[in-house]
């Protein structure tokens, strides 16, 4: 037949393809992760630097906390408790103005240099002088470019002395300043040997590490992979996992498949609908870790309509907190209206929070403010889950009382750019704090030293929305709580601040974030808190 020749050629091509497929199917079964290696799947979009003075990303922060030990640890189980780190002990003078740390003897940096108090003092000075991302952690507490060299000193090889200008509440000061990346002790000699153009070794440290910790950085490639390798003579405990491999997997669905197949041990970006599948799989464990992070609406008082307190309160009655919590936000967030997260020192109970979905109340409020027929506003949001979902929920409720919200999704770097420059009407934003204490949130959200445009207090969300906190007397209250040494009194002060915030603030706090960590059941002993993950304690069965 005239057609058969040609048909045969195509047939054979198809056959060849089929054969290739079968050949592949019969290649050795994919290797599972080895027992001494922990593999994580994570979306690592930004991946900039490893220098503790400059870290900005949650992921790098988490990893570097397993590479560098700080002066003081947050306890494995209870982050509010402190445990000895590079400093084996510490003391505070009665006037709360001088702190003395005893540096642990016999520790050595990877270079072989001994760890001394001079390294510790220099590391803090470096952080302040470099004035990068982490500098604010010290500058908030009165350390400046000018005073840091006199304030933070080593009196001998194993004694670090830190002087402060004001008598802060000691537990707060210790927890905020000495437990994180701003208190990593770096190898001064080694870093300075790689200094270039007065950069304090910033260029060199962006790709490597020079500190004491359970792990060392082996490889890091942006958008690809990050590998840590065990420090075999770690001082604190025996480290069982030899290697931690973090793979960049942008799709949550792909992470789930990898986890189910055992090609990764821990998935960090499981998405909404896959929770059920993880929960019903006997080989997997889903760990819900409440974070001290928020999703909240910011309403700019720079806008004529939103200037009205009543209008702003109306927004607080437009969210069905409980309903969203049990549906869209299930496993993702818990409803929270107070500025202080559940689990932090000084938080008011959830039952004391007043708002719920109440359209009549909202209608009444906007009528009282002179806008009975509603108005039109833009709502800027991040484009990733759950911003669009929350935004559409609020939009639908607002539409019922005549408020027309136009949702504008954008990239994070653009969203926060507009937020920081007061160039928006309303928006949904996220915020994370790094201490389990009310101070972490109120010092930014209920504190605004100067509300004028030219002050550019961009680090304070309160300034960004133009909330004149001073007029309500709150600035002083926040500062007073920061200095209060009586724990009970301090707690009461935060309760009072939260009550005013709930009634007056131009922020509608909606949800406190839950971090989902899906693990294979072989992974054991990994301490997970809202702030740290201690991989040095993990092992596989």
Partner 1 sequence: MAVSDRDIEPVGALADRAVRRQVWLRRAGAAGRLVVSVFVTLLGLLALTFFIGRMLPIDPVLAVVGDQADQATYEMMYRKLGLDQPLYVQFWTYISSAARLDFGVGTFSGQEVASDIARVFPATLELATVALLVGVFLGIPMGVLAAVFRNSLIDHVTRIIGLIGYSTPIFWLGLMGLLVFYGMLGWVGGPGRVDSFYIDIVEPVTGSILIDAALADEWDIFWNAVSHIVMPGSILGFTALAYIARMTRSFMLEQLNQEYVITARVKGLSNRQVIWRHAFRNVAVPLITVIALSYGFLLEGAVLTETVFAWPGFGQYLTNALLQGDMNAVLGCTLVVGVIFIALNLLSDLLYRLLDPRTK
Partner 2 sequence: MTTGTGIKAKRGGGLRAWLMAEVAETVMQARLQRAYLGWLRFVENPLAVIGLTIILALILIAVFAPLIAPTSPSAQNLDIRLLPPSAEHWFGTDELGRDTFSRVVHGSRITLYIVLLVALIAAPVGLVVGTISGYFGGWIDTILMRLTDIFLSFPSLILALAFVAALGPGIENAIIAISLTAWPPIARLARAETLTVRSSDYISAIEIQGASAWRVIFRHVAPMCVSSVVVRITLNMAGIILTAAGLGFLGLGAQPPSPEWGAMLSTGRLYMFEQWWLTTMPGLAILIVSLAFNLFGDGLRDVLDPREQ
What are the beta bridge partners of residue 89?
102
Q: Does 263 bind partner 2 (CB under 8 A)?
A: no
Structure tokens belonging to residue 133: 């991302």
Is the CB of 17 or the CB of 349 nearer to partner 1?
17
Binds partner 2 by CB under 8 A, chosen from 34, 253, 354, 417: 253
Binds partner 1 by CB under 8 A, chosen from 35, 196, 221, 524: 221
Q: Does 324 bind partner 2 (CB under 8 A)?
A: yes
Q: Does 328 bind partner 2 (CB under 8 A)?
A: yes
We find the least distance from the C-beta atom of residue 537 to partner 2, in angstroms, to be 32
| b/e sequence 43-54, b meaning 16+ C-beta within 10 Å | ebeebebbbbbb
List binders of partner 2 among 220-239 (CB under 8 A).
none
Binds partner 1 by CB under 8 A, chosen from 139, 189, 236, 309: 139
Q: Does 271 bind partner 2 (CB under 8 A)?
A: yes
Judge whether 154 and 86 are in contact, CB under 8 Å: no
Binds partner 1 by CB under 8 A, chosen from 108, 195, 238, 253: 253
Q: Does 455 bind partner 2 (CB under 8 A)?
A: no
Binds partner 2 by CB under 8 A, chosen from 190, 274, 303, 437: 274
Structure tokens belonging to residue 288: 């819900």
Task: Say whether 131 sits in a helix, a strand or coil.
Answer: coil
Contact partner, 206, from partner 2, partner 1, none, Cβ < 5-8 Å per class: partner 1
Contact partner, 510, from partner 2, partner 1, none, Cβ < 5-8 Å per class: none
Judge whether 193 and 83 are in contact, CB under 8 Å: no
Q: Does 281 bind partner 1 (CB under 8 A)?
A: no
We find the least distance from the C-beta atom of residue 203 to partner 1, in angstroms, to be 9
Q: Does 450 bind partner 2 (CB under 8 A)?
A: no
Binds partner 2 by CB under 8 A, chosen from 320, 358, 468, 522: 320
Counting Cβ atoms within 10 Å, is residue 139 exposed (0-12), middle (13-18) or buried (19+)? middle
Report the C-alpha gap between 37 and 360 in whole angstroms: 57
Q: Does 409 bind partner 2 (CB under 8 A)?
A: yes
Contact mark string toward partner 1, 522..541, x via CB under 8 A: --------------------
Binds partner 1 by CB under 8 A, chosen from 350, 459, 472, 479: 459
Q: Does 491 bind partner 1 (CB under 8 A)?
A: no
Return the number of other C-beta atoms located less than 10 Å from residue 425's C-beta.
Answer: 21
Contact partner, 135, from partner 1, partner 2, none, Cβ < 5-8 Å per class: partner 1
Binds partner 2 by CB under 8 A, chosen from 9, 12, 78, 327: 327
What are the beta bridge partners of residue 513?
333
Judge whether 269 and 42 are in contact, CB under 8 Å: yes
Q: Does 223 bind partner 1 (CB under 8 A)?
A: yes
Judge whether 320 and 393 are in contact, CB under 8 Å: yes
Closest of 278, 258, 271, 286 to residue 39, by C-alpha? 258
Binds partner 2 by CB under 8 A, chosen from 145, 156, 238, 406: 406
Radius of gyration (C-alpha) of the chain in whole angstroms = 26
Structure tokens belonging to residue 255: 């992470």
Pairing of strands 376-382, 404-410: parallel
We find the least distance from the C-beta atom of residue 215 to partner 2, in angstroms, to be 32
Judge whether 250 and 44 are in contact, CB under 8 Å: no
Closest of 119, 88, 115 to residue 102, by C-alpha? 88
Q: Does 146 bind partner 1 (CB under 8 A)?
A: no
Choices 99-107, 111-119, 299-307, 409-417 (CB under 8 A): range interacting with partner 1: 409-417
Closest of 277, 279, 283, 280 to residue 264, by C-alpha? 283
Within 8 A by CB and 6+ apart from 209, the residues are 50, 64, 67, 68, 216, 217
Report the C-alpha gap between 319 and 28 in whole angstroms: 53
Binds partner 1 by CB under 8 A, chosen from 79, 386, 457, 466: 457
Return the number of other C-beta atoms located less than 10 Å from residue 165's C-beta.
Answer: 12
Given the structure tokens 């199917």, which residue do they identify?
25
SS (HEC) of 437-462: EHHHHHHHHCCCCCCCHHHCCCCCHH
Contact mark string toward partner 1, 43..82, x via CB under 8 A: --xxxxx------xx-------------------------
Contact partner, 395, from partner 1, partner 2, none, Cβ < 5-8 Å per class: partner 2
Judge whether 324 and 356 are in contact, CB under 8 Å: no
Choices 22-30, 118-126, 329-337, 394-402 (CB under 8 A): range interacting with partner 1: 22-30
Binds partner 2 by CB under 8 A, chosen from 414, 472, 485, 528: 414
Contact partner, 9, from partner 1, partner 2, none, Cβ < 5-8 Å per class: partner 1
- Judged by the rule CB under 8 A, the positions of this chain that interact with partner 2 are 251-253, 256, 271-274, 276-277, 320, 323-324, 327-328, 383-385, 388-389, 391-393, 395-396, 406-411, 414
């Amino acid at each position: 037949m005239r057609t058969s020749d040609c048909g045969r050629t195509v047939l054979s091509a198809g056959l060849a393809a089929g054969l290739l497929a079968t050949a592949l199917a019969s290649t050795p079964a994919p290797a599972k992760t080895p027992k001494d290696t922990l593999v994580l799947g994570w979306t690592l979009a930004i991946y900039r630097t490893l220098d503790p003075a400059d870290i900005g990303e949650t992921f790098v922060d988490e990893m570097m906390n397993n590479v560098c030990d700080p002066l003081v640890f947050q306890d494995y189980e209870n982050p509010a408790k402190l445990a000895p780190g590079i400093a084996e002990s510490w003391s505070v003078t009665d006037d709360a103005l001088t702190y003395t740390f005893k540096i642990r003897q016999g520790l050595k940096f990877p270079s072989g240099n001994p760890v001394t108090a001079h390294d510790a003092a220099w590391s803090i000075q470096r952080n302040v002088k470099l004035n990068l991302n982490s500098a604010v952690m010290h500058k908030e507490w009165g350390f400046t470019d000018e005073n840091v060299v006199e304030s933070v000193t080593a009196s001998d090889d194993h004694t670090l002395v830190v002087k402060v200008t004001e008598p802060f509440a000691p537990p707060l000061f210790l927890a905020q300043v000495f437990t994180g990346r701003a208190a990593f002790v770096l190898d001064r000699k080694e870093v300075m040997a790689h200094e270039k153009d007065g950069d304090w070794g910033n260029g060199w440290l962006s790709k490597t590490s020079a500190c004491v910790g359970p792990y060392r950085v082996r490889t890091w490639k942006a958008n690809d992979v990050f590998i840590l390798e065990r420090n075999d003579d770690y001082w604190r405990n025996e480290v069982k996992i030899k290697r931690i491999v973090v793979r960049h997997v942008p799709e949550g669905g792909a992470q789930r498949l990898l986890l189910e197949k055992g090609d990764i041990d821990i998935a960090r970006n499981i998405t909404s609908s896959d929770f059920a599948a993880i929960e019903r799989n006997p080989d997997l464990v889903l760990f819900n870790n409440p974070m001290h992070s928020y999703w909240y609406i910011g309403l700019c008082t720079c806008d004529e309509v939103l200037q009205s307190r009543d209008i702003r309160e109306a927004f607080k009655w437009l969210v069905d907190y409980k309903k969203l919590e049990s549906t869209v936000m299930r496993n993702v967030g818990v409803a929270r209206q107070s500025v202080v997260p559940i689990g932090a020192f000084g938080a008011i109970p959830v039952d004391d929070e007043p708002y719920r979905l109440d359209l009549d109340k909202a209608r009444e409020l906007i009528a009282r403010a002179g806008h009975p027929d509603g108005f039109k506003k833009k709502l800027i949001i991040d484009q990733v889950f759950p911003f669009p979902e929350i935004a559409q929920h609020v939009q639908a409720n607002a539409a019922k009382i005549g408020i027309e919200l136009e949702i504008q999704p954008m990239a994070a770097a653009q969203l926060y750019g507009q937020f920081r420059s007061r160039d928006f009407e309303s928006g949904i934003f996220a915020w994370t704090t790094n201490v389990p204490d009310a101070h972490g949130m109120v010092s930014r959200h209920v504190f605004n030293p100067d509300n004028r445009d030219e002050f550019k207090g961009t680090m304070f969300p309160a300034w960004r929305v133009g909330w004149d906190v001073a007029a309500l007397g709150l600035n002083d209250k926040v500062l007073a709580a920061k200095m209060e040494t009586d724990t009970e009194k301090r707690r009461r002060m935060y309760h009072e601040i939260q009550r005013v915030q709930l009634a007056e603030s131009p922020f509608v706090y909606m949800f406190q974030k839950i971090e989902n960590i899906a693990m294979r059941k072989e992974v054991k002993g990994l301490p997970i808190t809202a702030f740290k993950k201690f991989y040095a304690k993990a092992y596989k069965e």
